[in-house]
Structure formats: C-alpha cells, structure tokens
C-alpha cells in the first residue's frame, strides 16, 4: 500500500431533502480527529460522501459507518466531505450527527 491519503466515495439514495441550508463545518482535522463538511447539492435526490483519510485500508469500516449514518438520516440533496486524521468510528458518527443537527435548526 502506498503512503499518503486514501480517498473513498459513497453514493446513497435519500428520502428526506435537506432543503436550502448554509454550508456546515464541524470538527477539526488534527491528530486522531476529523472534520465534516455538509453542503447542499441542489437537484440531487441522494447523498454523496467523499472521504480523505490518513488511515488507509479501512474501507469496510468507513462503509459501515456511513451506511449506518444514511440509514438513520435518509438525507437527500446533500454532499458530505470528510477529512480524517485517524478518528474512531464513534467520533465519525458523532461529527456526522453534529453536522446534521446544524442543518435541521
């Protein structure tokens, strides 16, 4: 496996359009943490997730975490970007939920 960041992309169908919202950023990229950016994706009936992570080789775990997130929230019209520096799955879920709470205000 080559050094550097690993990029992962996921696409999900969604049931609940997020509507028009301001871009949301939660978390801070740093040792053992991550940031999550939610942006509106006008005209999209799904949710896209792009991840850049320093923890290479954990695609199956990322897939499980983002699948669980989308099953719980069923977002549509949202683009999610995650910049990770080795956060645990629990922290990833927490940050994703924090970001969704911001758009539902």
Q: What's the CATH number where 83 sits?
A: 3.30.230
In a domain, 82, yes or no: yes
| Band of pLDDT at residue 2, cut at 50, 70 and 90 | low
Is the pLDDT at 101 greater than 90? The verdict is: yes
Q: Which residues pair with 79 in a beta bridge?
A: 39, 48
Give yes or no for a contact between 18 and 103, defined as CB atoms under 8 angstroms apart: yes
Owner of token pair 């969604």: 14
State the total domains in the chain: 1
Q: Which residues does residue 17 pair with via DSSP β-bridges, in sequence order?
A: 76
Domain containing 27 equals 6-103
- Whether 1 maps to a domain, the answer reads no
**Number of residues assigned to the chain:** 105
What are the angstrom distances between the C-alpha of 102 and each of 55, 56, 72, 73? 27, 29, 16, 13
What pLDDT is attached to residue 105?
A: 57
Does residue 46 lie within any of the structural domains? yes
28 within a domain of the structure (yes/no): yes
The 10s digit of each residue's pLDDT in 20-73 is 999 999 999 877 789 999 999 988 899 999 999 998 899 999 999 999 999 999
**pLDDT at site 91:** 95
């Amino acid at each position: 496996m080559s050094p550097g960041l690993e990029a992962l992309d996921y696409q999900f169908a969604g049931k609940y359009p997020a509507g028009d919202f301001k871009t949301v950023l939660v978390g801070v990229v740093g040792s053992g943490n991550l940031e999550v950016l939610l942006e509106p994706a006008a005209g999209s009936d799904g949710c896209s997730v792009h991840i850049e992570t320093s923890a290479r080789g954990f695609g199956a775990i990322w897939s499980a975490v983002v699948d669980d997130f989308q099953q719980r929230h069923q977002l549509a019209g949202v683009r999610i970007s995650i910049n990770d520096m080795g956060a645990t799955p629990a922290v990833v879920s927490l940050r994703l939920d924090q970001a969704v709470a911001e758009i539902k205000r």
